[in-house]
Amino acid sequence: MTILFSDFLHTFFTSDNKAGAGVIMMGTIHWSKGLEATDVYIVQPGTLPLAERVALGGWQKYEELCIQARRLPNPNT
């Protein structure tokens, strides 16, 4: 039987953006902008901010700090 990796890619990502109980929503911080959930978990919080971007300085550093700040106000608990 032929298994298509590209078919797997398309079924892997869902288009339903509504958070609801019973399903764990996963995504990047950029994806989650504007969304809310009761419980919010951060994967590898040590990567916030990304050291490589902070080292670049300037707008990259500022943006990285914004991303770090952005992940904090999400929970509505």
Partner 1 sequence: MLVYLVYLLRNAGVTFIILVYNVAAKDELLSRGLLPHEVHNFHSFAYRALTSVLAATLTEDRVMANESVSSRNTIKATVCDIKIRLVAQLYFSQQPPEGPLLTKLFKTFIQDLCNLARTHALGCEGKPSCLDLPVLEGLAIKFTLAKKIEGAWNGVLTQPQKLTLNRIFGGAAAEARLKYGIAATAQVLELSYLVGTSREVMGCKFLFNETTHKKIPLPIIDSIDMVYLAARLKLAFPPKGAVLVDEAHDLDDIQIMLLRSMQKDNSHMLTVDDPGQSIYFWRGVRPEAYTELMRGAEHITIMDNHRNARSIVAVAQDVYNEMPVNMVIEARKDLEGVVASDATFFTYPLDLNNSIMILGRTFEHVLQLYMVLIGKGLPVQMHGQGNTAGQLEELLAEFTGGTSTLLHVRAKLVLYASINAPCADSVEYDMHMGLLELLKIFLARNPSADPTLPEVQLSNCGRIVSMMCTRLHPNHPR
Residues that bind partner 1 (CB under 8 A): 1-6, 8-10, 12-14, 16-44, 47-48, 50, 52-53, 56, 59-60, 62-63, 65-77
- Nearest approach, Cβ of residue 11 and partner 1 (Å): 8
Contact 25, 43 (CB under 8 A): no
Report the C-alpha gap between 19 and 27 in whole angstroms. Answer: 12
Contact 53, 61 (CB under 8 A): yes
- Nearest approach, Cβ of residue 61 and partner 1 (Å): 9
- Nearest approach, Cβ of residue 74 and partner 1 (Å): 7
